[in-house]
Amino acid sequence: MSAPRRPRPTEVDDLHELSRACFGFGGRDHGTERPPGRRARPVPRNARVIVLDGKPVSHIAVVYNHLWIEGARVKVASFGGVCTHPDYRGRGLATELMNYCLHGIDARGAALLIISGERGLYRRAHAVPAGPCWEVHLRPSELPASPDDITARRAGPEDWPAFARFYEAEPVRFARAARMYAHAVASESHRAVWLLEQAGRPVAYACLSHVWGLGPREPVRALSEYGGSRAALVDGLAALAAAAGLDEIRTAFPTFDTDLTYLLRRRGVELKQGTIPSHTFRIVNLPRLMRLLKAYLEARLTQGEARGLRAEQEGERCRLQLGEEEAELDLSRAGKLLLGGPGAPRVGGALGNALARIAPIPLPLPGLNYA
């Protein structure tokens, strides 16, 4: 068995075949040759694979980014496309590959890991469901009609600056290059960006995605990202659903969004407690995370608490300390405590009081950054 490594140029087509075998998409057409003159598929720089019998059979894509968390800049990594060919499962290949990648992202200075999935493989690696959210199923027929001056339209290539500025004003968000916004409105994918306008002026945007498990022709979409005026977003839901031909819009939005929480409750919408859907989160390096969150912590703690709060980590064991008080946790429990996962441990005393003011650390919806 080969050690985990980057794929080679000669293995790119095999990677697409692996994706098809595991996810049902990505494979080349059988029985056809690449047309003459057509450029070869590029080698994915962010992929890591294990090769058996001369072909990649286990794969993880690793993407690096930064989060802005109310003034604090935190380096994060994301895992996506985690898979092992059905014929090679049960050998621990994905676990070996994941451990290899975890070591790499720690060495590159990431403090948090975001995984697009929530299966046992990730939980055994101390990733936890997190990011307290309100889960909502919105049926436009049950909401008041949108005001006459609120309209919704699909964003085009020229519209990306209109919704980019809304996202850049969010206090909790991913750091994004302009090309990502431009690509989001130019590509035909399972996500679509819609602009909500008041008298022709953009006031909010909504990213609508296919719902996992439902066919693309089903009149149901997930509101996977939004920005701008929350009042305009709520007022425009009926117009958005009508323009997109939807009977239902599903979303899970962070509980720290008090504006959207208030507006939906005022309209009698039922809110159900949950976490960021279809994702898990893992603390990579707790001391580094707390250090990078300095601006966030200083806004919520007294000067004495901010200076005195200590975090240590040895392997998978963590310690949080304030004065003479301390809490020892494994990475899973530390993740639940600090990121808002269900079953978070209780911590008492002055340490618990301080932690209650900083946790859960707010996390953005993956949205367009879905790995």
* Contacts of residue 3, Cβ cutoff 8 Å, sequence gap at least 6: 50, 100
Q: What is the pTM of this model?
A: 0.91
Lowest mean pLDDT among 213-217, 238-242, 247-251, 312-316: 213-217
Are 61 and 79 in contact by the 8 Å Cβ rule? The answer is yes
pLDDT band at 74 (very low <50, low <70, confident <90, very high): very high
| pLDDT of amino acid 24 | 80
Summarised one tens digit per residue, pLDDT across range 336-346 is: 999 999 999 99
Residue 43 has pLDDT above 90, yes or no: no
Residue 1 has pLDDT above 90, yes or no: no
Question: How far apart are alpha carbons 61 and 71 in whole angstroms?
Answer: 28
| pLDDT of amino acid 28 | 43
Are 307 and 285 in contact by the 8 Å Cβ rule? The answer is no
> Could you tell me what percent of the chain has a pLDDT over 90?
88
Question: How far apart are alpha carbons 16 and 27 in whole angstroms?
Answer: 5
Structural domains of the chain ordered from first start: 9-129 (3.40.630.30), 133-275 (3.40.630.30), 284-358 (no CATH)
Summarised one tens digit per residue, pLDDT across range 86-95 is: 999 999 999 9
| pLDDT of amino acid 78 | 96
For residue 172, which of 306, 263, 298, 74 has the smallest C-alpha distance? 74
Summarised one tens digit per residue, pLDDT across range 147-195 is: 999 999 999 999 999 999 999 999 999 999 999 999 999 877 778 999 9
Of residues 40 and 264, more confidently modeled: 264
> Could you tell me what percent of the chain has a pLDDT over 70?
95
Question: How far apart are alpha carbons 139 and 214 in whole angstroms?
Answer: 17
For residue 246, which of 339, 177, 150, 143 has the smallest C-alpha distance? 143
